[in-house]
Structure 1
Amino acid sequence: MSGTSESAKPVAAALHSSAVEDHAPAEAASAAPAAHTTLAQADHAMRHWTDPAPGPLCVGSTQHLRMFCNMLLQTHNPYKPAVIDWPRLSPEALHRVTSLPIWDIAVQTEGRAAIRVRTFAETVSDPLLRRALEMDGAEEARHKVVLSKLVEAYGIALAPEPDYPPPRDPEWGWLVTGYSECIDSFFAFGLFAAARRSGFFPAELVETFEPVIQEEGRHILFFVNWAAWYRRNLPWWRRPLFALKVARVWAFLVWERIGMARGIDADGVAQDANFTMNGSAALGEAMTPGAMIDLCLAENARRMAGYDARLLRPGTVPRLARLARRFVK
């Protein structure tokens, strides 16, 4: 096995040129192994994190806040999407990529997420939590850049992007983003694994997106711990109001996904955004609903396994998936 892991390869592609661009040719050659080692370490650090403080964790405590904020901040991977070396695709692979009906919604989703997270961060007074939220928002913005660069590299035509105004209720925007990612990432984990093993996408392209997929896992881990911490620290009389707000968010997301299942986005534009629900066939590996649920559950557990076991894991979507699994083959 080489010094750079498979999942670190896109990071190496994104950072290697900037790491050696100021060296003479001989110096650049000698700097390359060190750069790859550093990048492999960054990739490993993004996926594995344990708080050094021993003992059990009390949800809602100052220790809990410090732990989930440090998890996000200390696992940040500094890859640079602007210099990703996008792999050359065969005509068949290029057609598969450009024909997927997901790119408009993917770019717009990241654009909305970035402004929502940043807007909520501005309302937070705790310096550590604010830093973590700003990091989250910056990573969402970076995802949009990655997608925009992919679209540019492969000549994918997009509809004109809408404006991304800040939400009138910052907390509402943050909750919508967090719970939406809990839903979408669960299915994206499985679809990504299906694309990897089916060979639908070239391995180089799959690996290019690996850091983005893992970052979404970090984001939802951060969010579900924030939500539990925040709820515990609300005055008792505000907790029912917050629970009602969360219920309204879930109702909004269910209604939004009903529209997606019909192929219509929030602006009335036709889209096939139900891709996350039934996209295994589109990715070249037709799977039964039960097999798809099993894969999503396994990938969700795998991507969360490297982080401190005391942190809460996303629970609602996996529980619903396990319930649905009882009734499907």
Structure 2
Amino acid sequence: MSDTLVAEESKVSEAEESKPLRPTDAEAAEIDRKSRFWRSEEPGWIWVGSEEHKRLFCRMLLETHNPYKPAVMDWPKLEPEALKRITSLPIWDIAVQTEGRAQLRVHAYAKRVRDPLLHEAMIMDGGEEERHKVVLSKLVEAYGIPLAPEPIYQMPKDIEWGWLVTGYSECIDSFFAFGLFEAAKRTGYFPEELVETFEPVMQEEARHILFFANWIAWHRRQLSWWRRIAFELKVARVWAFLIWERIGIARGLDNGGEMQDANFTLTGHQQIGIDLNLSELLELCLAEDWRRLDGYDSRLLRPTFMPKIARLVRRFLR
């Protein structure tokens, strides 16, 4: 065999190895199961803020990682009516930009983390946020959805502030997104093939908010009393900022005087034509929030703020 032929076969072999591999249906099902159901083998009660607690929530994130590749995701061909519904949703610009900011902020905070296990988990979190942006970019490309030019993402001066804004934002938005996604699935607003394609991203958000809720509780216990006071004041400022943003008071004050609709998570059921009143929507969000988080170790803390608010509001709506 000539050296030229050997060299050519080597190139072909390298090209084949570099191609993203598509798992079989059985492999995909097993990967999906492992990403949704996880129990630590570490026995006994685990105290919040302990070394065991840190290992629990870091290992949860690392060991439930779904290695799907955006490059090999199947974007199903949609019927004209379904395509029109998807492309007309007013969420794609803000979704892409949100993930762009999120991956930047998570990676920035991860660089400050010195603990090896926590650093590894934070890098995984940021990498998954970056992958979400790629998935959304592939989706809008596949369906010809026009996007506004992306802004230059600015790193906040306070790196911790950016991480907290990202984490709490995900806790708010995911709570409503879980319910809206399920409602769109049940009504057929999203075609079944598209639901199946996008499902891993939704479950990934569940893992992220679970990780964040436990990190917050663990981090508080690592602070001295005077640093904890400063931290709680910062958290209060973050919540004030997020509430300000979502009720629309800040409209016209962001992105050079043009703020996108940050209220889609609250009004999305109306915008996508789902016939649910607020009480029914909250009930569905609560059920989906529980379903998506129930498969993980019961010793992990669950995000509680949005479920508590939803239950409180629901009581007044009855």
TM-score (norm 2): 0.91
Q: Percent identity, aligned pairs only?
A: 65
Distance 1:321 1:264 in 2: 28
Q: Mapping of 1:1-150 within 5 angstroms? A: 18-19=20-21, 35-150=24-139
**Aligned residue in 2 for 1:256:** 245
Distance 1:267 1:126 in 2: 39
* Per-residue deviation, residues 303-323 of structure 1 (Å, max 9, x unmatched): 000000000000111111111
Matched, 1:237 2:190: no
Give 1:83 shift: 2.0
Matched, 1:312 2:301: yes
Give 1:328 shift: 1.5
From 247, 255, 259, the equivalent of 2:236 is 247
How many residue pairs match? The answer is 300
Write the letter of the residue equivalent to 2:156.
P
Write the letter of the residue equivalent to 2:152.
D
* Alignment gaps of 5+ in structure 2: 1-18
Distance 1:44 1:110 in 2: 25
Structure 1 pair 267–68 and aligned structure 2 pair: CA distance change class (3 A) = farther
Maintained 8 Å contact 1:264/1:271 = no
Write the letter of the residue equivalent to 2:129.
E
**Aligned residue in 2 for 1:5:** none
From 175, 178, 183, the equivalent of 1:194 is 183
Write the letter of the residue equivalent to 1:166.
M
Greater mean deviation of Cα atoms: 265-274 or 95-104 = 265-274
Distance 1:264 1:36 in 2: 48
* Per-residue deviation, residues 43-77 of structure 1 (Å, max 9, x unmatched): 10000001101111100000000000000000000
Distance 1:19 1:174 in 2: 33
Write the letter of the residue equivalent to 1:58.
W
Matched, 1:212 2:201: yes
Distance 1:263 1:214 in 2: 33
**Aligned residue in 1 for 2:268:** 279
Q: Which of 1 and 2 has greater Rg? A: 2
Write the letter of the residue equivalent to 1:299.
E
| SS of residue paired to 2:317 | coil
Write the letter of the residue equivalent to 1:215.
E
Matched, 1:162 2:126: no
Give 1:40 shift: 1.3
| SS of residue paired to 1:109 | helix
Give 1:214 shift: 0.5
Distance 2:276 2:250 in 1: 19
Maintained 8 Å contact 1:69/1:129 = yes
Q: Which runs of 4+ in 1 moved over 6 A?
A: none
Distance 1:265 1:201 in 2: 31
* Alignment gaps of 5+ in structure 1: 1-16, 21-31
Distance 2:192 2:84 in 1: 16
Root-mean-square deviation (Å): 1.6
TM-score (norm 1): 0.88
Distance 1:261 1:186 in 2: 22
